[in-house]
Amino acid sequence: MSDMTQESPADSLEHALGALGLHMMQRELAAVISQAEQENWGYRRFLQHLADLELAERLSRRIAVLTKRAEIPREFTLARMDQTRVPEKPRRMLPTLLTGDFVRRGDNLLCFGLPGRGKSFYCGTICRELIQQHRMKVWFVPAYKLVSQLLLAKSEHQLPQTLERLGKIDLICLDDIGYVQHTAEEMEVLFTFLAERHQQQRSTALTSNLVFSQWDQIFKNPMTAMAAVDRLVHRSIILEFERKKSHREEEAEQRLQP
């Protein structure tokens, strides 16, 4: 008599699912078999239920990875957005922007206003929703950080490769462009980035406290500033965030009220 134990069909199936990389189906197999037997499921419903569990798990992991790579500040969420404090035009545009169609067209989103008016929160929230609703690749990055990375890539003779890699991202949001003054060399790589995004027909979002007429303060050269603006506005949605007081000023006043 053989000492070898016979593997049950369920154990054999569980092993096969693991070997195929279907780990959610593998983990839930026993519970689903039990439920199927109790409710007298057919084979099609049984398999569909397992497949749906696997798909949901993979989608969740995909969204988690995209969100981590996007580097969006944690507080920038639609649930935390007080839309009554968003200016009228940006508020009316929000549902349209959340469809992601502007990204599919390669249009830009340009948000202007004084500090503390909600531009960054608005753009960051859109970026997060584009991941969750449409699984788009986005990157929310302070302008100074992007410039530093581009300058490093240039010094290492890797700028073309870096721009090609960034070209695979559906939407790159440059936060606070013009907030920090940069050298001419740094602005040169920023212009190269914007020109490449335009050539690739990839979307760029940006927030700035400087209107276009002041962009010679960013690029140091009026002709370079004009060329950068020309590429950005070619296909763009321009929103102004006009409020008398910043969100931070309003919150400070509320705390002081008895």
Whole-number pLDDT of residue 251: 52
Look at residue 246 and tell me whether its pLDDT is greater than 80: no
For residue 80, the model assigns a pLDDT of 96
Mean pLDDT on 191-219: 92
Give the C-alpha distances (Å, rounded to integers) separating 17 from 8, 180, 198.
14, 54, 45
Hey, what CATH topology would domain 72-253 get? Rossmann fold (3.40.50)
pLDDT of residue 178: 82
pLDDT band at 252; cut points 50, 70, 90:
very low
pLDDT for the residue numbered 1 = 43
Residue with tokens 């995004």: 197
Domain boundaries, the chain: 10-69, 72-253
What average pLDDT score do residues 3-21 get?
A: 75
Q: Average pLDDT in the 100-123 region?
A: 96
Mean pLDDT score across all residues of the chain: 89
- The pLDDT value recorded for residue 224 is 87
pLDDT of 54 higher than 70: yes
Percent of the chain past pLDDT 70, that is, above it, reads: 89
User: With 70 as the cut, is the pLDDT of residue 202 above it?
Assistant: yes
Q: Residue 190 has what pLDDT?
A: 92
Task: Give the pair of three-digit tokens for residue 250.
Answer: 């309003």
Burial 58-92 (b: 16+ CB within 10 A, else e): eeeeeeeebbeebebeeebeeeebeeeebbeebee
**Whole-angstrom distance, CA of residue 159 vs CA of residue 140:** 20
Main-chain dihedrals φ then ψ at residue 103, nearest 5 degrees: -70, -40
CA distance 110 to 174: 10
What whole-number percentage of the chain has pLDDT above 90? 74
Task: Write down the pLDDT at residue 2.
Answer: 47
DSSP-derived pairing of the beta strands 108-112 and 203-208: parallel
* Residue 96, C-beta contacts closer than 8 angstroms, at least 6 positions apart: 102
Torsion angles phi and psi, residue 239, rounded to 5: -125, 140
Dihedral sign (CA 66, 72, 75, 78): negative
Q: For residue 205, report the phi and psi dihedrals to the nearest 5 degrees.
A: -110, 150
Identify the H or E element spanning 108: strand 108-112
Report the pLDDT value the prediction gives residue 201, as an integer from 0 to 100.
95
pLDDT of residue 77: 97
* 183 band by pLDDT with thresholds 50, 70 and 90: confident
- For the segment 141-149, the average pLDDT, to the nearest whole number, is 95
